[in-house]
Amino acid sequence: MKKLIAILSLALSLGACSMEPTRPAAMSVEDYIGKTYDAIDRMLTQAERAPAERGQFNKFDPIIVATLVNIDELAESSRLGRSISEQVASRMTQRGYQVVELKLRGDLFVKRSEGELLLSREIKDISLRHKAQAVVVGTYSMAEKFVHVNLKVVTGDTHHALAAIDYGLPLDENTKALISRGR
């Protein structure tokens, strides 16, 4: 009996050594976009309820959505940053907001690999040029098992944050592919 217990213990111990580390399960496209849409909905609710002294926010005045940037390299984005920015613009349009499509404007240079990166000194100028009430800006950062995403609605003239939201996406194979360089 003792031999049987020892053999079973040894077998279980050896079996545990060969187990692969767990990877985050790949999210479906619907879940991936759904997480972003939920975050946007919460952010818009905050912005709509922001105190008037911070700035006005409504569905009727134009809004600019900038490309999300890598928190470690603020002049750099990725397919992930551009993809989330497109989702932000889509969701805001679905909810009736007047989103300015910068890619169709000839007066703003858009780098193919970066998107509409807006530096703080450019926000005021671009907001005034497009008569935008606010700009949605954001960052992403990679951790071991997830990507942290931060979005903010910022007034174009005073740079006051009207709303902010944080959420995470699993760092699965799909997310890694969107972050990888060269594509």
What pLDDT, in 10s, does the model give residues 16-51? Answer: 554 555 555 666 878 889 999 999 999 999 999 988
Residue 89 confidence (pLDDT): 97
Q: For residues 102 and 14, which has the higher predicted lDDT (pLDDT)?
A: 102
Q: Report the pLDDT averaged over residues 69-84.
A: 87
Has residue 142 got a pLDDT over 80? yes
The domain over range 38-179 is classified in CATH as 3.40.50.10610: yes
Residue 115 confidence (pLDDT): 44
Three-state secondary structure readout of the chain: CHHHHHHHHHHHHHHHHCCCCCCCCCCCHHHHHHHHHHHHHHHHHHHHCCCHHHCCCCCCCCEEECCCEECCECCCCCHHHHHHHHHHHHHHHHCCCCEECHHHCCCCCCECCCECCCCHHHHHHHHHHCCCCEEEEEEEEECCCEEEEEEEEEECCCCCEEEEEEEEEECCHHHHHHHCCCC
pTM of the model: 0.76
Has residue 111 got a pLDDT over 60? no
Q: For residues 122 and 71, which has the higher predicted lDDT (pLDDT)?
A: 71
Confidence of residue 8 (pLDDT cuts 50, 70, 90): low
Summarize pLDDT for 114-136 with one digit per residue, the tens.
444 455 556 667 777 778 899 99
Q: For residues 142 and 3, which has the higher predicted lDDT (pLDDT)?
A: 142
